[in-house]
A and B are shown apart, each in its own frame.
Chain A
């Protein structure tokens, strides 16, 4: 398995929110990708958006514009 790095991980309340996130990010060229929610955050399954720490501002601004609500924004080793 690859070396981990500290990254930004956004979790959502529903799969629908995660899909809205992926769609909006792709449309607006916001970096990142969908990954399974890391167990360090929750063992409850689901999808999250993973990006570099340096992308935080861009991502938060985009979510605000698109009206996408996060469950939480984490920084964790993935």
Chain B
């Protein structure tokens, strides 16, 4: 099987990640729930994972790294824990449902929501965000990269706008963490939401957020923490404040190993290889008659994603033919990004997404190009 669905989850994990999870399952106790060796080994590895993430994202304290199950949980914590009725929030058409649905939920509670439009190539005019800011604006929230088109969003520029107007800036780094450099300080990011199972190469069920020091977020959950047992409220100290319940220690041991792999290999090396594979695929398919490629390929930076359609074929059919005739795994349909499909004009058809990982080979890309060409020819 040729796996080209890495934007959904990276399937090929470094062997050290697999070994770390298996090892943890045979040795790890409950972090922060005792001082026995098994519990301490969990606590230590989880703390070390916080440190590695803090370093990766340019944070100031590992205590500001909070673990969750995925980006979706992180985004819910940030959105629901920071906004209140009467607030105004600005987001974009590029967003995933894990941003949009919590925002719609808050809209029903009396938050005013503005969604900045993109053009038909899924490009964002960042100055439009600034135009929407008013006295009630509490937050700008946007993705660092579109999971549908792969278009990269210049969060540093958005962060400058947020800072100039004293507005909170929350970033969905689901598609970029572990692949693109992220530096929360210079980018003025107040909350960075990430998931462990995509570019970070960790297990599913791991994710988190980095919260700027001093920013208070109302917790989504309260419960056991292993500290302050007789306190009737959730402890206010980070990261415990936002981490009720046993963490996914086994998964985090895997994420810990994955971060080691990333720091050792270098995310710049990984990104360069992934963009090279993406470019090779794009160059191979862009001029095939009947093929429509979406997104902006003019800039230097973009996520390693190429999304296309063949004629007016249902994207599900094309994806199915790619799998059954060529053994290529892609993702068709709506990609949880309803507004982006509106902008691209692909609500009905959906779109077929090819997304690359540095583990993919040139031969795999060549096979995928040939497959698209043959399927498009059969169409004529």
Using a CB–CB distance below 8 Å, which chain A residues touch chain B?
Answer: 1-2, 35-40, 43-46, 78
Contact = CB atoms under 8 A, between A and B. Distances in A.
Interface in B309-331: 310-311, 313-321
Interface centre among B311, B315, B316, B350 (most CB of A within 10 A): B316
B350 A43 contact: yes
Contacts of A45: 333-334, 350
Interface residues of B, number: 21
B213 interface: no
B362 interface: no
Nearest to B335: A45
A46 B335 CA distance: 10
Contacts of A38: 314, 316-317
A44 B348 CA distance: 9
Given A39-B314, A39-B348, A1 B375 contact: yes
Nearest to B310: A1
B304 interface: no
Contacts of B349: 39, 43
Interface of B: 310-311, 313-321, 332-334, 347-350, 375, 378-379
Contacts of B319: 36
A39 B334 CA distance: 11
A7 to B, nearest CB: 12
Nearest to A37: B316
A1 B379 contact: yes
17 contacts: A1-B310, A1-B317, A1-B378, A2-B321, A2-B378, A35-B316, A35-B320, A36-B320, A36-B333, A37-B333, A38-B317, A39-B349, A43-B347, A43-B349, A44-B334, A45-B350, A78-B317
Contacts of B316: 35-39
Contact of B350 (A1, A2, A39): A39
Contacts of B310: 1
B348 A1 contact: no
Nearest to B374: A1
B342 to A, nearest CB: 11
B321 A43 contact: no
Contacts of B313: 1
For A36, A37, A40, A45, which residue has the most chain B Cβ atoms within 10 angstroms? A36
Most buried by B among A1, A35, A45: A1
A43 B348 CA distance: 5
Nearest to A34: B320
Question: When A and B form their complex, which 10 residue pairs have the shortest distance between CB atoms, in order from nearest?
Answer: A36-B316, A45-B333, A39-B314, A45-B334, A1-B378, A43-B348, A36-B332, A35-B320, A1-B379, A1-B375
A43 to B, nearest CB: 5
Contacts of A1: 310-311, 313, 317-318, 321, 375, 378-379
Which has the most chain B C-beta neighbours within 10 Å: A37, A43, A78? A43
A71 B317 CA distance: 20
B320, B375, B378: most-surrounded residue (chain A CB, <10 A)? B320
Contacts of B378: 1-2
Counting chain B CB atoms within 10 Å of each CB, the highest count among A2, A40, A44 belongs to A2
A38 B318 CA distance: 11
Given A1-B375, A39-B350, A43-B334, 4 more contacts: A36-B316, A38-B316, A39-B348, A43-B349
B377 to A, nearest CB: 10
Contacts of B314: 38-40
A40 B317 CA distance: 11
Contacts of A39: 314-316, 348-350
A1 B378 CA distance: 5
A58 to B, nearest CB: 23
A38 B317 CA distance: 7
A19 to B, nearest CB: 16
A39 B313 CA distance: 9
Contacts of B311: 1
Nearest to B378: A1
Contacts of A44: 334
Which residue, of B313, B321, B333, has the highest number of chain A Cβ atoms within 10 A? B333
A34 B311 CA distance: 24
A14 B338 CA distance: 19
